[in-house]
C-alpha cells in the first residue's frame, strides 16, 4: 500500500520519539471520572488521588504527547520498525524520554516538574460575526496567603464523609483557639485539610468523642452507646504557593498548581457542605427550590453546582443550577408498592425478592418504634418471610420468632408477615427489621437508572428557558454571599457577583448538497435547520428485498405503502413489494418470529439467487413504550444479519409526512446511502481535510449504571469511510473491564502457532476498511474522543495515541499519518446567555454556530466552547472541545469551522446537532451494544459489604454480523 500526500518527503516528526509514561508524567493529571454521569465535569483533581499510570510502550518514532523536564535528545527510530510485523516487544524497546516542544510559550515558561504537555493555543479564532455573551463564570480574586496542606487520618477509620465532617467540626469547636492558632480550616471530608497560614504544630493527635443524635435514648445505659471515640491525627503535608498559580494564569509557568486550586476550591465549598446535602460537586436542599414527585418512590430536589477552575480571565467560579433525583422519605412498604406490582398477602417468589433486594440495598432507613429513633443501612433482605424468621436471644441459645418479639416487646402486630425483613449489618452478624416499621431517610440521592416516566417528569419540572436559568444563577450567587463567608474570608477569597462578559463569534453555516428535481441543489441552513421537502438525498441506497413484522395490533400495510412512497420520493431505490407478505407477529415470541421470517426470506431468495439476502426489515413495536426493541436489535444484528428499522405503533398510525421523512433518512444510511454532504467537501475546499486522504474517528466508552457491579464498560469506535465527504461511518464495539475509561482494544496482538504475531484491533480494522474503500491509506487522522474527564486526559491520550501508532506501524513500516486528538465534553456546567434579543434563536438561546475561545477557556491550551445547534427547549449546552495532540497544525478557525460544519452532516435529521457526529455516532453505537449483553440477573449474589470481586470479569460481547458492519445500522 502506498502512502499519499507526500509519503516520500522527509518528515521531521520521524526524528521524534513516541509516547512514554512515568509516574511523574501523570502527577498533574488528577483523578479519573467515576462514570458517564460525571463525564467532563469541571473538577479540580486531587493530587492525593492520582490513578496509577497505565503501562505504555512506544509504537513508532513519531511525536506524541510531550513530557516536560526531560533532557534526552531526539533520536531516529530503530531499524526494527522497518518490518510491517513489528512485535510489541520491539516497539516497547523503542521507548525514549520525550522533549519539550520548542514553542515560544514553552521556551519562556519554565516547568517545575515532569508533566504531559498539551498543545498551546494557536491564537484565537477570527472567523464569524463578533458578538458578546454572558457566561455563568464568576471571577475570583485571592489575597496572597501561605496555604498549608495537612493530612488527616482517623482511628478507627471513618468511611462516611458526613461523620468525618462532624468529627472535624467538633475538633475545631473544641480546640480552635487553644491548639489551632485560631485558624479556620477548610476540610474536604476525606483526608485533606487546608489552612491559610501554619498551625502551631507539624503533627498532633486529638481525641474526639462524637455524640450521635439519631441513636438511643437519654437513659444512662444507652448514652454510652451514643458516644464514639475517635483519634484524629493532623500532620503537615505541604505548603502551597499562590505565586505559582499567579504565574500559571499569566502563562509564565507551564504546570497548573492543582493543589493550590484545590485548597481554594475546598475553602469555597466548606460552608455549603455543612448546610446542604452534597452530591458530587453539587449541593441540594429543600431550601434551594421546590421539590416534586418523579414517580417510583423518587422526588427531585433543586440545588446548584459549584467548581473553581483556571481560565484566561484568572480563577473562575463556575456556578450552575442543578437538579437530582432523591428517594422520597416514605415507608419501605410504600416504596415497594410504587415500584413493584406485588401482592403482600402471599409469599414472594425468589425473583421478586431479589428485585426488592437490589432496589433497597444501600439505602438508609429509620425506625421509631419504642420511642427510640435509630438509623440503619440496608444490606439485603431475608430469604425467609417474617412469619418464619427467627433470631437468637442474648443467651445465644433460645430462638424466637421476630413477629413474636415485636408483639411481646412493643405490642406491634405486623401487618405483612409474608414479606421478607430488611437486613442491616453484615452476613455474619445480620440484624433484621420489619419493612413496615422502616421509613426511608430524607436526602438520599437516587443513583439508579431513571425510567421513562421519571426522566419525563424530571425534564418537565426542571426545564428552564435561558433567561430564567440566568436569573436563578444570579439569585444563588447573591443569596450565598461568598464574600461574607467566614472560611472564604479566612482564605482571602473575593468573588465578583456579575456573570462574565465574554467575546464570542457566530460561525456561518455550511452549504449542503442535495439532489433536486433538476439535478444537484444546494441548501443553506438557517438557524441550525433546513427543509428538504423538495429535495432528494445526495446518494440513494437500494432496497430490493424487504419485509415487515408487526408486533402490535396496528395493520402496517398502509404505513409501509406510505413509507415506500416517501423513500422513493427522497431518491431511495425501493421495491414497492415486500419479499414475503406483511404479517402480524406474536410479541410473546420475538426470537421465534424473527427466525421464522428469516427462514422464509432465505427460502424464497434461494429459489432465485442464493447470494441475495433480506436488505431491510421494518418492525412495528408492540407499544409506544418500545418494548422488546433491545431483543429485536440483538437478534437481528448479532445472529441473523438483518438491518432493521423499528417504529412505534402510535407514530406509524399518524402517517405524518415529517415522521415518514425522518424514518426515510434513517433507512437510507442503513442501506448504504448518504443523505447530504458538505458542498465544500465536494469542491475540495476544506483545509486539512480534502487536500489528502483523511479519516475522522469518533470514540466513546459507556459505563454501566451504579449498582451494576459485574457489567462491563463498552467501547465504540467509528470512522469515516467516504473521503473527502466524511459522512459515512463504519463502527466497531468492544467490551472491557467494569468502568475502565481507556479503550483497551484499539490495538492488540495475539500469537498464532503457525502465523506468529497476529495484529488486530479496532483502529487497524477501520484503517484497512478505509483502504479497501478508497484505494489508499489515510495520510491524516482526526480523532474525536468523547467522554473523558480532565483528570484522565493524560492517561487516555498516552495509551490511545500509543495504540493508534502501533496500529499504523503494523500495516506498513514508517506509516505515520499526522494525528489530531480532540476530546469532546458535553457534561460540563458552562452555559452561555445572550446579551440582546437579536442574538437568539427561536427558543431564546444563543444562536447555532456560537463559539467561544477566550476569557473562560484555558489560559494556555487549545480549547473552545461551540454551540453548534439550535435550542428546542430549556437552555442550550455548548460542547467543549479540548485539543490534546495536534500534528496537523490546525489553526483555531480551521478546527472550529470544521467541527461546526460536521455538525450539519448528522444523518438522522435535518438539523445541526450539539456534538460532532463521529462522537455522536460512537455514543449511539456503544449504547446499542448494551442491548447485546444479557441484562437479566436474578441471582442472589453480592455480599452485604458490597464485594466487587467480580468487577474485572468482562462479559462476552456477541460479534456484529459482517454485512451489518458495512452500514450505519446504529442510526
Predicted local confidence at residue 621, as pLDDT: 95
Residues in the chain: 971
Other Cβ atoms less than 10 A from the Cβ of 674: the count is 20
Q: Buried b / exposed e across 30-57, counting CB within 10 Å, b at 16+?
A: bbbbbbbebbbbbbbbbbeebbebbebb
Predicted local confidence at residue 79, as pLDDT: 33
Place of cell 485571592: 142
User: How far is CA 228 from its chain centroid?
Assistant: 40
C-alpha cell read off for 173: 469547636
Contact 715, 701 (CB under 8 A): yes
Contact 699, 785 (CB under 8 A): yes
Predicted local confidence at residue 53, as pLDDT: 35
Burial of residue 323, with CB atoms counted within 10 A of its CB: 0-12 exposed, 13-18 middle, 19 or more buried: buried
Q: What's the 3-state SS for 944-963?
A: CCCCCCCCCCCCCCCCCCHH
C-alpha cell read off for 502: 465574554
Closest to 865 in 3D by CA, of 833, 909, 819: 833
Bridge partners (DSSP) listed for residue 142: 493
CA 565/CA 568 separation, integer angstroms: 5
Contact 815, 3 (CB under 8 A): yes
CA 257/CA 242 separation, integer angstroms: 9
DSSP-derived 3-state class of residue 757: strand
User: Virtual CA dihedral for 16, 19, 20, 24, nearest 10 degrees?
Assistant: 100
The whole-model pTM stands at 0.86
CA neighbours closer than 13 Å in the CB half-sphere of residue 831 = 26
153, 171, 181, 182, 186 from 178: Cα distances, Å = 21, 11, 7, 7, 18
CA 377/CA 400 separation, integer angstroms: 24
Contact 325, 445 (CB under 8 A): yes
DSSP-derived 3-state class of residue 592: helix
Other Cβ atoms less than 10 A from the Cβ of 374: the count is 17
DSSP-derived 3-state class of residue 455: helix
Q: Over the chain (971 residues), what is each successive 10-residue block's mean pLDDT?
A: 40 40 35 38 40 34 38 34 36 32 40 67 97 98 94 95 94 96 96 96 96 51 66 96 92 91 96 93 94 96 96 97 96 95 89 94 93 91 91 77 90 93 88 95 92 91 93 94 94 96 98 83 94 92 96 93 96 96 91 95 88 94 90 96 96 94 97 96 96 98 80 95 96 94 95 91 97 96 96 95 97 96 97 93 95 97 97 94 98 98 96 97 96 60 41 72 94 93
Bridge partners (DSSP) listed for residue 574: 543
Q: Buried b / exposed e across 807-826, counting CB within 10 Å, b at 16+?
A: bbbbbebbbbbbbbbbbbbb
Closest to 18 in 3D by CA, of 816, 696, 779: 816
Which helix (H) or strand (E) element contains residue 487? helix 486-490
Predicted local confidence at residue 955, as pLDDT: 67
Contact 697, 781 (CB under 8 A): yes
Amino acid at each position: 500500500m502506498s502512502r499519499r500526500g507526500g509519503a516520500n518527503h522527509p518528515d521531521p516528526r520521524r526524528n521524534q520519539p513516541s509516547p512514554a509514561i512515568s509516574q511523574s508524567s501523570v502527577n498533574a493529571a488528577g483523578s479519573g471520572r467515576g462514570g458517564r454521569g460525571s463525564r467532563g465535569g469541571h473538577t479540580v483533581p486531587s493530587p492525593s488521588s492520582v490513578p496509577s499510570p497505565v503501562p505504555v510502550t512506544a509504537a513508532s518514532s513519531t511525536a506524541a504527547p510531550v513530557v516536560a523536564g526531560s533532557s534526552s535528545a531526539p533520536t531516529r527510530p530503530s531499524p526494527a520498525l522497518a518490518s510491517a510485523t513489528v512485535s510489541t516487544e520491539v516497539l516497547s524497546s523503542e521507548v525514549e524520554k520525550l522533549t519539550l516542544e520548542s514553542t515560544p510559550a514553552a521556551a519562556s515558561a519554565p516547568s517545575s516538574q515532569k508533566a504531559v504537555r498539551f498543545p498551546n493555543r494557536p491564537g484565537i479564532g477570527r472567523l464569524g460575526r463578533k458578538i458578546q455573551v454572558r457566561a455563568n463564570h464568576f471571577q475570583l480574586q485571592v489575597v496572597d496567603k501561605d496555604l498549608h496542606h495537612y493530612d488527616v487520618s482517623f482511628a478507627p477509620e471513618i468511611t462516611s464523609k458526613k461523620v468525618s465532617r462532624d468529627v472535624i467540626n467538633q475538633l475545631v469547636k473544641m480546640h480552635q483557639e487553644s491548639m489551632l492558632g485560631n485558624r479556620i480550616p477548610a476540610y474536604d471530608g476525606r483526608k485533606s485539610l487546608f489552612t491559610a497560614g501554619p498551625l502551631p504544630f507539624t503533627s498532633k493527635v486529638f481525641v474526639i468523642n462524637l455524640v450521635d443524635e439519631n441513636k438511643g435514648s437519654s437513659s444512662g445505659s444507652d448514652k454510652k452507646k451514643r458516644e464514639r471515640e475517635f483519634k484524629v491525627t493532623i500532620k503537615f503535608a505541604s505548603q502551597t504557593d499562590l505565586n505559582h498559580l499567579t504565574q500559571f494564569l499569566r502563562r509564565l509557568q507551564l504546570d497548573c498548581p492543582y493543589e493550590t486550586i484545590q485548597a481554594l476550591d475546598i475553602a469555597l465549598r466548606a460552608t455549603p457542605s455543612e448546610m446542604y446535602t452534597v452530591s458530587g460537586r453539587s449541593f441540594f436542599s429543600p431550601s434551594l427550590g421546590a421539590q416534586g414527585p418523579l414517580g417510583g418512590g423518587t422526588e427531585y430536589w433543586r440545588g446548584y453546582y459549584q467548581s473553581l477552575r483556571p481560565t484566561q480571565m484568572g480563577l473562575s467560579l463556575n456556578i450552575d443550577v442543578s437538579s437530582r433525583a432523591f428517594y422520597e422519605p416514605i415507608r419501605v412498604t410504600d416504596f415497594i408498592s410504587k415500584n413493584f406490582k406485588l401482592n403482600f398477602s402471599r409469599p414472594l417468589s425468589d425473583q421478586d425478592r431479589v428485585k426488592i433486594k437490589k432496589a433497597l440495598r444501600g439505602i438508609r432507613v429509620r425506625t421509631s418504634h419504642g420511642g427510640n429513633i435509630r438509623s440503619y443501612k440496608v444490606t439485603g433482605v431475608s430469604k425467609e418471610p417474617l412469619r418464619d424468621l427467627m433470631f437468637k436471644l442474648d443467651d445465644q441459645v433460645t430462638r424466637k420468632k421476630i413477629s413474636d418479639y415485636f408483639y411481646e416487646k412493643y405490642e406491634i402486630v405486623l401487618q405483612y408477615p409474608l414479606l421478607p425483613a430488611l437486613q442491616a449489618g453484615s452476613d455474619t452478624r445480620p440484624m433484621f427489621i420489619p419493612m413496615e416499621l422502616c421509613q426511608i431517610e430524607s436526602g438520599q440521592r437516587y443513583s439508579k437508572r431513571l425510567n421513562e416516566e421519571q426522566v419525563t417528569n424530571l425534564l418537565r419540572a426542571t426545564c428552564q428557558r435561558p433567561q430564567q436559568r440566568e436569573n436563578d444563577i444570579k439569585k444563588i450567587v447573591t443569596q450565598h454571599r461568598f464574600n461574607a463567608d467566614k472560611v472564604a474570608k479566612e482564605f482571602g477569597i473575593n468573588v465578583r457577583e456579575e456573570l462574565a462578559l465574554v467575546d464570542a463569534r457566530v460561525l456561518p453555516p455550511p452549504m449542503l448538497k442535495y439532489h433536486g428535481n433538476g439535478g444537484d441543489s444546494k441548501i443553506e441552513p438557517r438557524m441550525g435547520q433546513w427543509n428538504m421537502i423538495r429535495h432528494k438525498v445526495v446518494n440513494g441506497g437500494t432496497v430490493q428485498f424487504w419485509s415487515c413484522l408487526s408486533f402490535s395490533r396496528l395493520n402496517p400495510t398502509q404505513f409501509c405503502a406510505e413509507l415506500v412512497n416517501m423513500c422513493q420520493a427522497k431518491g431511495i431505490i425501493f421495491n414497492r413489494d415486500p419479499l414475503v407478505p406483511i404479517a402480524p407477529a406474536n410479541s410473546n415470541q420475538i426470537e421465534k418470529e424473527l427466525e421464522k421470517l428469516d427462514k422464509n426470506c432465505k427460502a424464497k431468495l434461494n429459489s432465485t439467487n442464493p447470494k441475495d439476502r433480506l436488505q431491510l426489515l421494518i418492525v412495528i413495536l408492540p407499544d409506544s413504550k418500545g418494548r422488546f426493541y433491545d431483543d429485536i436489535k440483538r437478534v437481528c444484528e448479532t445472529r441473523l444479519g438483518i438491518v432493521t428499522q423499528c417504529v412505534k405503533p402510535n407514530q406509524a398510525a399518524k402517517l405524518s409526512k415529517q415522521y415518514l421523512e425522518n424514518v426515510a433518512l434513517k433507512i437510507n444510511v442503513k442501506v448504504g446511502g448518504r443523505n447530504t454532504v458538505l458542498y465544500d467537501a465536494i469542491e475540495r475546499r476544506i483545509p486539512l481535510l480534502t487536500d489528502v486522504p483523511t479519516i475522522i474517528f469518533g470514540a466513546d466508552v459507556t459505563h454501566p449504571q451504579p449498582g451494576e457491579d459485574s457489567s462491563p464498560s463498552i467501547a465504540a469506535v467509528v470512522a469515516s469511510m467516504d473521503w473527502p465527504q466524511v459522512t459515512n461511518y463504519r463502527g466497531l464495539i468492544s467490551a472491557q473491564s467494569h468502568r475502565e475509561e481507556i479503550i483497551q482494544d484499539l490495538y492488540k496482538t495475539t500469537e498464532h502457532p503457525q502465523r506468529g504475531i497476529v495484529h488486530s484491533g479496532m483502529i487497524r480494522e477501520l484503517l484497512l476498511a478505509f483502504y479497501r474503500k478508497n484505494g489508499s491509506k489515510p495520510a491524516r487522522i482526526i480523532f474525536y474522543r468523547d467522554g473523558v474527564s480532565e483528570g484522565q486526559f493524560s492517561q487516555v491520550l498516552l495509551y490511545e495515541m500509543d495504540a493508534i501508532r502501533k496500529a499504523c506501524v503494523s500495516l506498513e513500516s514508517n506509516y505515520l499519518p499526522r494525528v489530531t486528538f480532540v476530546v469532546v465534553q458535553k457534561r460540563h456546567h458552562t452555559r452561555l446567555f445572550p446579551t440582546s434579543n437579536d442574538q437568539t434563536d427561536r427558543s431564546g438561546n444563543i444562536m447555532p454556530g456560537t463559539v467561544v475561545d477566550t476569557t473562560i477557556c484555558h489560559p494556555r491550551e487549545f480549547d473552545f466552547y461551540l454551540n453548534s445547534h439550535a435550542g428546542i427547549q430549556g437552555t442550550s449546552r455548548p460542547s467543549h472541545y479540548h485539543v490534546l495532540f495536534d500534528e496537523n497544525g490546525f489553526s483555531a478557525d480551521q478546527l472550529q469551522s470544521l467541527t461546526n460544519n460536521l455538525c450539519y452532516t448528522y444523518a438522522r435529521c435535518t438539523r445541526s446537532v450539539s456534538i460532532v457526529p463521529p462522537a455522536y455516532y460512537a455514543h449511539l453505537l456503544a449504547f446499542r451494544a448494551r442491548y447485546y449483553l444479557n441484562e437479566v440477573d436474578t441471582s442472589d449474589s453480592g455480599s452485604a459489604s458490597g464485594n466487587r470481586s467480580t468487577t474485572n470479569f468482562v462479559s462476552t460481547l456477541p460479534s456484529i454480523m459482517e454485512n451489518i458492519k458495512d452500514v450505519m445500522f446504529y442510526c
